[in-house]
A and B are shown apart, each in its own frame.
Chain A
Amino acid sequence: MIRKILLLAGLVLAGQGALAKDWDQIRFATEGAYPPFNVTAPDGSVQGFDVDIANALCAEMKAKCSWVKQEWDGMIPALMSRKFDAIAASMSITAERRKKVDFTDKYYATPLALVARKGSPLKPDLTALKGKRIGVQRGTVADNFAGRFWADHGVELVRYAKQEEAYLDLATGRIDATWVDALEADAGFLTKPAGQDYDFSGSKIYGRNADEKAVIGEGVGIAVRKRDTELRDKLNKALAAIRANGTYEQIRKKYFPHDIYGE
């Protein structure tokens, strides 16, 4: 009897291993605190642009997808320690991250922007920001950018675990502005009641020179472990397919009035 159970358990485990290799089941991770790309619904499930795109990819690949919620600053270590198989959490493709993980092609691209109280004279220039307190979410492209170009030149960086906390502190005046992904700020804060007294301050930045472009990266992709090239290729094929058959545009229209894919 015990033998039979062990045999059965062995078969089940072996079966799961085989399934995982074919990528019939993919465990996606997202943060759930980055509206409108990924947010946590009242029932605890995750929703948003990232989630819809990844689910569309899964439908295209005929794979079964499940979702894991993971804090942003532990995202890449958790992927590498196999807590899940892919990250769909608005993660920009940067050289620094490429050292640790592999990325699919981009599924959207977005500039960085400064958000401050309406009428603020601040703009994303070193001279304008000197002596100011600028909030960023720790470990984001905005953090890397500000850390690289501003922090050593008299701009006081305040790092938050969540972007939402930076908005809270912007409202209480603890920081002068927050430096953030422009699409996230627009949909997650500026168009909401809490953000009605705030606006973009200065122009949006895609990267004004080669140095800045290297930090901002080449868009946002889905991250996978380096060894999982098969999964990356499958996701890329599915991404091309949903771009071609109009599914991508349908999802985009649900969240954004304008194109966010870039050229």
Chain B
Amino acid sequence: MIEWAVITDNLPEYAAGLWLTLQLTFLSLCAGLLLAIPLAVLRSSGPSAVSRMVWAYTYFFRGTPMLVQLLLIYYGLGQFEWIQARWAEGNPLWLVLREPYGCALITFTLNTCAYTTEIIAGALRTTPHGEIEAALACGMSRLTMIRRILVPGALRRALPAYSNEAIFMLHGTAIASTVTLVDITGAARNAYSQHFAPFEAFIFAGLIYLCITFALVGLFRLAERRWLSHLQPRKATATRQ
């Protein structure tokens, strides 16, 4: 008793939704990662005011649901007359916050950046002492050491944990549909309300997410083989005759 029409009628909408989901996921992951690297260095730089400020930021974004953050930014900010006045002026910087796309992208970026900062900061703290001593012995300055030794090593060790974050982020973008964006989940909700057939509408959405997750896992496996091979279990070198 599967109504295929639910899926076939809405195929173009699902396709457009897939494109939007991919955009939101990859743009927020890229922006989040780029911001997270300097923040992680500051976060793990020892007890200081800056480190505590970064901690407060990651604590807020990891301690509240992403849905609440999105509703705060989308509906919450629009409530203030000061913001509405900026929108009326047509200031492009503030108009980003008027568009659901901009609100979703900012929320997702801030959220994934908070998690990624903690992941990389954790990896930075586990840098082997020997590497740091060697860098100091070579006469590297602090900045050179961060650039050449600390960050590359930490990024490698953070890869497995970061692959989970990327998958969580993909699934997290589903809440974009609560602020009128038609991503994969939004397309499913539209199909569902037109045909009153939740199973077909959502199982198809689920299958699309499953495929993207599969591709993501594959990409991260390739990345780990490339950059993390020195930590993989070693293959037997001698073959038995």
Contact = CB atoms under 8 A, between A and B. Distances in A.
Contacts of A161: 178, 189
Contacts of A172: 78-79, 84, 87, 98
Contacts of B197: 77
B75 A168 contact: yes
Contacts of B196: 76-77, 80, 97, 100
Q: Which of B186, B193, B197 has the most CB of A within 10 A?
A: B193
Contacts of A100: 196
B190 interface: yes
Chain B interface: which size bin? 20 to 34
Nearest to A173: B87
A74 B192 CA distance: 9
A22 interface: no
A165 interface: yes
B98 A159 contact: no
B180 A74 contact: no
B198 interface: yes
Q: Which 8 A-B pairs have the closest CB atoms?
A: A139-B193, A172-B78, A76-B196, A73-B193, A158-B180, A77-B198, A100-B196, A138-B193
18 contacts: A73-B189, A74-B198, A77-B197, A96-B194, A100-B196, A135-B180, A138-B189, A138-B190, A139-B194, A143-B193, A158-B180, A159-B180, A159-B182, A159-B186, A160-B180, A171-B78, A173-B88, A174-B98
A173 B79 CA distance: 11
Interface string B133-144: 000000000000
Contacts of B87: 172-173
A165 B75 contact: yes
Nearest to A79: B196
A73 B192 contact: yes
Q: Which of A144, A159, A172 has most chain B Cβ within 10 Å?
A: A172
A158 B98 CA distance: 14
Interface residues of A, number: 25
Contacts of B190: 138, 159
Nearest to A101: B196
Contacts of B178: 161
A238 to B, nearest CB: 27
Interface in B87-142: 87-88, 98-100
A173 B75 contact: no
A30 to B, nearest CB: 17
Contacts of B98: 172-174
Nearest to A165: B75
Interface in B173-201: 178, 180, 182, 186, 189-190, 192-194, 196-198
Contacts of A77: 192, 196-198
Nearest to B99: A174
B159 to A, nearest CB: 38
A135 B180 CA distance: 9
B174 to A, nearest CB: 14
Interface string A128-163: 000000010011000110010000000000111100
Interface in A198-225: none
A77 B193 CA distance: 10
A58 to B, nearest CB: 26
Contacts of A174: 78, 98-100
Contacts of B192: 73, 77
Interface in A95-146: 96-97, 100, 135, 138-139, 143-144
Contacts of B182: 159
Interface string A71-86: 0011011001000000
Contacts of A138: 189-190, 193
A187 B28 CA distance: 41
A212 to B, nearest CB: 18
Interface in A174-212: 174
Q: Which of A73, A165, A174: most chain B Cβ within 10 A? A: A174
Contacts of A169: 78, 180
A138 B196 CA distance: 12
A176 B192 CA distance: 26
A80 B199 CA distance: 13
Q: Which of B78, B88, B196, B198 has the most CB of A within 10 A?
A: B196
Nearest to A139: B193
A119 to B, nearest CB: 16
